Structure 1
């Protein structure tokens, strides 16, 4: 059997889209979104990172991440401070750390349920296959 590549591409996109929408709905109960939670996660993983670095980590343009970072700063979730040259460094505030922790519980719970139909070996295979595409 030959799988139609457009069908395969659509199936991957559909799974991603369903996950994004479901997690967004769950995170809305905490007053945040998947995009914001992912930005907080990126800042936590790379404290002091530039907006450009964080944009790449979150699959956004520099401009989009700059706008998002400004909103997160206005909500007292991140701080933005001058670094070397024109670099602006980002760090989580205590409120950002709390929201990230709360959101992580939600995201991990959703993912555990979503992937519960796959055993550990199948999950490893899926990660390997998706990694080969990149």
Structure 2
């Protein structure tokens, strides 16, 4: 039996879309969107990173990420500082740290609900298969 690859691709996209909608909706309770929280998360993982690096880490174009950073800076959630040469480094402010932490709590609840239909061994298998498919090894 062969899996229909178009159906497989659509099923992956459908699960991602459902998860993103649930996260985006729930994050409004902490004053954030999924894109904003994901950017804060990326900056937290790599303080001082450039917009180019952060755009790649969050699957955005540099232009879209730049606009997002402008909004986050206006909300005093990120601090942009000059780096070497023309590089601009990004750091979280204390307010950004608070929104990030609150977002982690929201995401934990939403993701637990999204993956509730799968028992833990199936979740581990799915994660391993996605890592293999993407050629990556993610750290927790």
Contact 2:31 2:99 in 1 (8 A): no
Pair 1:6-2:6 in alignment: yes
Q: How far off its partner does 1:109 sit?
A: 1.0
Give the structure 2 partner of residue 98 of structure 1: 98
Q: For 1:84, what is the secondary structure of its paired residue?
A: coil
Give the structure 2 partner of residue 44 of structure 1: 44
Give the structure 1 partner of residue 69 of structure 2: 69
Unaligned runs of 5+ in 2: 135-140
Q: How far off its partner does 1:66 sit?
A: 0.9
Give the structure 2 partner of residue 116 of structure 1: 116
Q: How far off its partner does 1:71 sit?
A: 0.7
Q: 2 CA distance for matches of 1:91 and 1:75? A: 13
Unaligned runs of 5+ in 1: none
Give the structure 1 partner of residue 58 of structure 2: 58
Q: 2 CA distance for matches of 1:115 and 1:25? A: 17
TM-score (structure 1 length as normaliser): 0.95
Give the structure 2 partner of residue 130 of structure 1: 130
Aligned residues: 134
Q: How far off its partner does 1:128 sit?
A: 1.3
Q: For 1:89, what is the secondary structure of its paired residue?
A: strand
Question: In the TM superposition, what whole-angstrom CA distance separates every residue of 1:68-87 from its partner, at most 9, and x where no partner exists?
Answer: 11110011000001000111
Give the structure 2 partner of residue 16 of structure 1: 16
Q: For 1:73, what is the secondary structure of its paired residue?
A: helix
Q: 1 CA distance for matches of 2:31 and 2:73? A: 15
Give the structure 2 partner of residue 87 of structure 1: 87
TM-score (structure 2 length as normaliser): 0.92
Q: For 1:85, what is the secondary structure of its paired residue?
A: coil
Q: For 2:60, what is the secondary structure of its paired residue?
A: coil
